[in-house]
Amino acid sequence: MFKVKLFNNPSVDLICEASLQPIIMYSEHQRIIQVMANLIHNAIKFTKSGEIRFGGHMKETDTVHFYVSDTGIGIPEEEQQEIFTSFKKLDREVPGTGLGLTLSQTIIRSLGGKVGLESEVNKGSTFWFEVPLLMR
């Protein structure tokens, strides 16, 4: 695990919870990095103070689970189903196109995986995705 303060917002800690066990995947690693970067970027945009945690671990013998968890504003339950819809933005004040989560979901599905979230308003959100060790 390592922790750093965000340069543009020192009241937010960015914490990597890396697994000590190496994981060897046969997949499109650039796409997985792209999705993780997008989820971390979203967490930074919506977290004014607190922490953002990210990492990954083996879930089953053939699946890897990645996550980004924050103490940000959270997403109301009634809007959680729509969050992966193209151009859907919950906060018009925050810059962005509303395509990041849609693109991330499309990438992960193309790798044979799935995407999800858990969130509570004013407590934060955890976005996660799971991909197979071997690309099918």
In tens, the pLDDT along 14-39 reads 999 977 677 777 788 899 999 999 99
- Per-residue confidence (pLDDT) for residue 62, from 0 to 100: 87
Mapped to the 3 state alphabet, what secondary structure does 26-72 carry?
ECCHHHHHHHHHHHHHHHHHHCCCEEEEEEEEEEECCEEEEEEEECC
- Per-residue confidence (pLDDT) for residue 88, from 0 to 100: 62
- Per-residue confidence (pLDDT) for residue 112, from 0 to 100: 94
Specify the amino acid at residue 67.
Answer: Y
Mean pLDDT, residues 106-133 taken together: 95
pLDDT digits (tens, 9 = 90+) for 67-116: 999 999 999 998 888 888 765 656 556 556 668 899 999 999 999 999 99
- Per-residue confidence (pLDDT) for residue 36, from 0 to 100: 96
- Per-residue confidence (pLDDT) for residue 27, from 0 to 100: 82
The residue that leads in pLDDT, 52 or 21, is: 52
Class of domain 2-132: alpha beta
- Average pLDDT of every residue of the chain: 87
pTM, entire model: 0.86
Tell me the C-alpha distance between 133 and 113, whole Å.
10
